[in-house]
Amino acid sequence: MRAGDALLLILLALVLTGLAVDALTGGAIGAWLQAHLSGLGRQAGAALGWIGLILSPLLAVPLLAAVWGRFAGLPGALAEGLRRSALAIDAVSTAIADMTRWAALALVVVTAVIVIQRYVFGLSFTRLQESVIYLHSALFLLSSAAALLNGSHVRVDIFYSRLSMRARAWTNLAGTYLALMPMCILILITSSGYVGAAWRILERSREGDGLPLVFLLKTLIPVFAVMMILQGASMAARAALTLAGRTAPPSPGEYAGQEL
């Protein structure tokens, strides 16, 4: 069983257990969440923000290691730390993408059901229709980091495939620190108020019979940005190892077909 499948089963088990306990307690769990979830979400968001701010200097380690290793050699402990960090980030990105790949199947099935209901039986269910947005968003936002790892993002490659391994490493390093990370940090900054406002009111659908989980849907935006930053750090760690003459973990994207 893939790690993503196990993660999905755990999440489903937690949700079903929560629903069962809520039913047995006469809705006590739902009432408690309605009263406290907003505050807990704001506190968790603030705590995670401070943790991210404190740990953010670590993002510069691959860049410093690349410069240091290129001209002075890289200590074995630092090289091993970069290698293990890259593999750990890759494992997390892959597990989450494995879990969300089921959203593609669910998206097809739900869309087919909606079409049959509307044009065959003349029925329409708002929650089912809105679930398409949730599935689509989860599929693309939560699998983007794994797509970056596997070289599946659309790109126009004219020179990269002709470069040496060291030149590719410098290119990946520059792209990570000059484009990928700044853009993702900008997404985090600009979305903080947007997501925070949704959590303050536990935003739900504008339709009375819609899904009451809009605040969770919007939370996928900062999650996406954080995952992309971490995957960029993994890419930078590989580049640093290559520039230092060390063996970097194999990257599926390095050998992926090039788009022109």
Range of the domain at 152: 47-255
CB-based burial, 95-114: b 16+ in 10 Å, e otherwise: bbbbbbbebeebbeebbeeb
Domain membership of residue 218 (yes or no) is yes
> In this structure, is residue 9 part of a structural domain?
no
**Does 12 map to a domain?**
no
Going by pLDDT thresholds of 50, 70 and 90, the confidence category of residue 257 is very low
Question: pLDDT for 159-210, tens place per residue?
Answer: 777 778 888 889 889 999 999 999 999 999 999 989 999 999 999 888 888 8
Q: What is the pLDDT of residue 179?
A: 92
The model's pTM: 0.90
pLDDT of residue 260: 32
Q: Is 148 domain-assigned? A: yes
pLDDT band at 156 (very low <50, low <70, confident <90, very high): low
Count of structural domains, the chain: 1
Closest C-alpha among 180, 178, 150 to residue 256: 150
pLDDT of residue 13 exceeding 60: yes
Confirm whether 18 is domain-assigned: no
Domain presence at residue 37: no
Instruction: Let me know if residue 97 belongs to a domain.
Output: yes
166 belongs to a structural domain: yes
Overall average pLDDT of the 106-124 stretch: 88
